[in-house]
Chains A and B, each alone.
Chain A
Amino acid sequence: MPITAANPVISELQDRIRRLEGGAARKGEVLSFGIAEIDAKLPGGGLARGALHEVAGGGADAVHGAAAALFVAGIVARTKGDILWCLTRPDLFAPALLAQAGLHHDRVIYVEADREEDVLTNFEEGLRFGGLGAVVAELVRLPMTASRRLQLAAEASGTIGIALRRWRRPTEAADFGQPTAATTRWRISLLPSEPLPVPGIGRARWLAELIRARAGEAAEFEIGACDATGRISLSPHARDGQDQARRARNLA
């Protein structure tokens, strides 16, 4: 906690505020990114477990949301236990999640429904169950009421829930303007990849916009895409020189 009040009245008030916030900021119950700059912007020093988070792709790419899916895969790869991934359109390519975000295919159970409402139901049931490492749902729409229910279900069980917003056509992306009860909201856009000394595509880079953080403030980061253990990096040149060198060797 950044401020420790000597006054018992203030610390009590702070405890009450923290309780009202659904325990989102309780110590030790966060999944940190391991990057000081990002973690500092998030209350508690990371993504709260037992909370709903929302991730969408940015710009025209939102319809495909490939970067957002990898970002989410990188987050859930760092949790323990089985992952439930609720969807209607099965187009995730597992070898990519494995190699690029460290999410092992044995850990992910996909639940495929025909209708969007069923995805919401599955999402909530998975969150309520309480034995999973994380629950991810690919959603087109996330109404306020539904997001509130999901947030409460996540709080009750302590499972991290991630709503991965996907749209079928660009006009539907306007739905992202509507508020939800999610604890954090992210938008992941693609940036041109890191330049390589040889022709070819370098490590992918994203612009991660933290649009909303409950009890926190908005921020944006230029990050290097997940590595093989699901960790993103802020300055990919310094952290992953080895990775870059291997890529360059592969391509040469």
Chain B
Amino acid sequence: MPRVVSVFLPTLATDRIRRAEPGILPETPVVVVARSGSKRTVATIDAPAFKAGARIGMPAAKAQAMISGLHLVDADPNGDAEAVERLALWMLRQYTPVVAMDIPNGIVMDTEGADHLRGGELPMLTGLVNALRGHGLQARGAIADTWGSAHAIARATRRQVIIVPVGETAKAVVNLPVSSLRLSPDIVSGLTVLGFRTVGELSATPRAPLALRFGPEVGRRLDQMFGRVVEPIDPIRTAELIEVARSFSEPIGAPETIAKYIGKLVVELCAALETRGQGVRRTDLIIYRVDNTLQSLRAGTAKPVRDIPRLTKLLCSSIEKIDPGFGIEKLSVAATMIEPFEEKQSTSSLVDVTPLLDSFGNRGQRMYRLAPVESDVPERNVGRVSPVSEKLGQAWPTRWPRPSRMLAHPERIEVIALTPDHPPASMTWRGKRRRIKRGDGPERVFGEWWVRSSEMEAVRDYYSVEDEDGNRFWIYRSGDGVDPATGTAKWFLHGIYG
């Protein structure tokens, strides 16, 4: 079962204008005008233009007369299509091997078996929408079981991220308007005249009279939306993409056979990479089944690779995820992300761990090393870096002993203490009262006002304390104990010493 992501860019045309001319103020209404014959109508509007009263389809002259300071630009459908193509190619490299353009202002992709690399469907889709917004593009995304439903849901609602659970497509689409069925405007208006408003009403109607009146299109779109007819996503490809494929006259299905052909294709791919002096960072295996559906597997590597056994192993590692169905008629291996490959002799006696890390990464595990960050606040003192990044060798500047386990969120404790600068005499944490025998401190940590304005005067006084049993804790009092502006004078437990 595919999981289709449909990304809708409602104001792509106006967003592109704003990006090209950063001088346009955010509150200036921008509309794009399409020309058909001598008629000039508004084709795309942005949010300020909508607020000012502009509507899609109204004559351009009317909009111009109605709204003062309107920024009017002629439509550039080719430019828009190129922008969609660029975005689609970016998503191809970043998200999943199966990405297609959904002209004029959308992108569709199948993320079945690829979402775990991004931490699941919700983080993936939220991240995608946020990334697009970061580029100045309004975007909405939906995940559903079929292209038709994802397309309709992304366009029908105003929410930015919608995830329809597996198998609940029918429930999610019955109340959508018939216009979300990707039918031509003539058919939609015809259906409206007949009184059909929602997809549910239409799907409950006998097919034959509809087909007689509007042709086969209505039934086909309904079937596509409900997943009764497969609608393959033909993946986008570029000229520079290296792809090797093999078609089978007799469909294959056994895992060993698939593995054998993956091995053969990888040899071809590596030969092609070698002639270009490139290595591959993302390798996609696309499986075309005889029933006109396709599946994909992706193998990512931390460094460019051109190693036949390693690539074969990576691609074959998830072979059990392939569902051959009635058979596979074509296998294709594509190098989606390539980078210059340097042959260099390793002089280090240490072993290269990247094959191991690649294998973890392709199973969706998070890998990192920790590195010092210049900050006085302890929890900001640590940063995550890529496990293959250069080793820095720098040391953590800590004069005071630090706890080996640190709580992500400091926990409130009740203490009896002499303020301002004595360690507590006793503390109660998680319902257990402990008498404190020894303590060190205070170590004063000042807030970082350049990070958060609320930390302008904040102070924390850290103490290391040891209770009667030898348990050692790292606790702090918020504030310096004298001036209420520096903190609430409440006590927290932040870490546990070993």
A contacts, CB < 8 Å to B: 59, 61, 64-71, 73, 81-82, 84, 91-100, 105-106, 108-113, 118, 121-122, 125-126, 129-132, 188, 190-193, 199-202, 204-206, 225, 250-251
Per-residue CB contact flags for chain B residues 33-67 toward chain A (1 = under 8 Å, else 0) read 00000000000000000000000000000000000
- A97: which of B357, B359, B404 is its contact (CB, 8 Å)? B404
Point out the residues of chain B lying under 8 angstroms from A67, CB to CB. Answer: 404, 497-498
Point out the residues of chain B lying under 8 angstroms from A205, CB to CB. Answer: 470
Q: A122-B360, A193-B438, A201-B472 given; name 16 further pairs at CB < 8 Å.
A: A66-B497, A84-B356, A93-B404, A95-B396, A96-B403, A100-B401, A105-B370, A106-B393, A110-B368, A113-B365, A118-B363, A129-B353, A192-B466, A193-B470, A201-B464, A225-B498
Residue from the set B365, B406, B472, B498 with the largest chain A CB neighbour count within 10 Å = B498
- B370: which of A82, A108, A122 is its contact (CB, 8 Å)? A108
Point out the residues of chain A lying under 8 angstroms from B25, CB to CB. Answer: none
Point out the residues of chain A lying under 8 angstroms from B451, CB to CB. Answer: none
Residue from the set A95, A105, A193 with the largest chain B CB neighbour count within 10 Å = A95
- A193: which of B365, B382, B392, B472 is its contact (CB, 8 Å)? B472
Point out the residues of chain B lying under 8 angstroms from A94, CB to CB. Answer: 370, 382, 396
- In the complex the two chains form, is A190's CB within 8 Å of B365's CB? no
Point out the residues of chain A lying under 8 angstroms from B367, CB to CB. Answer: 109-112
Point out the residues of chain A lying under 8 angstroms from B395, CB to CB. Answer: 98
Given A96-B403, A97-B404: A132 touches B353 (CB 8 Å cut-off): yes
Point out the residues of chain A lying under 8 angstroms from B433, CB to CB. Answer: none
Given A71-B498, A108-B370, A110-B369: A66 touches B403 (CB 8 Å cut-off): yes
- In the complex the two chains form, is A69's CB within 8 Å of B405's CB? yes
Per-residue CB contact flags for chain B residues 366-402 toward chain A (1 = under 8 Å, else 0) read 1111111000001001100001000111011011011
A65–B248 alpha-carbon span in the complex (Å): 57
Q: Separation in Å of the B59 CB from the closest CB of chain A?
A: 55
Per-residue CB contact flags for chain B residues 463-478 toward chain A (1 = under 8 Å, else 0) read 0111011111000000
- In the complex the two chains form, is B498's CB within 8 Å of A70's CB? yes
- In the complex the two chains form, is B497's CB within 8 Å of A122's CB? no
- A131: which of B353, B398, B399 is its contact (CB, 8 Å)? B353
Point out the residues of chain A lying under 8 angstroms from B393, CB to CB. Answer: 106
A112–B466 alpha-carbon span in the complex (Å): 31
* A/B interface sample: 5 pairs, CB < 8 A: A98-B395, A100-B498, A126-B356, A200-B438, A200-B439
- In the complex the two chains form, is A199's CB within 8 Å of B353's CB? no
Point out the residues of chain A lying under 8 angstroms from B378, CB to CB. Answer: 93
Per-residue CB contact flags for chain B residues 62-82 toward chain A (1 = under 8 Å, else 0) read 000000000000000000000
Point out the residues of chain B lying under 8 angstroms from A95, CB to CB. Answer: 372, 381-382, 396, 398, 402
Given A93-B495, A192-B470: A106 touches B440 (CB 8 Å cut-off): no
- A201: which of B363, B440, B468 is its contact (CB, 8 Å)? B440
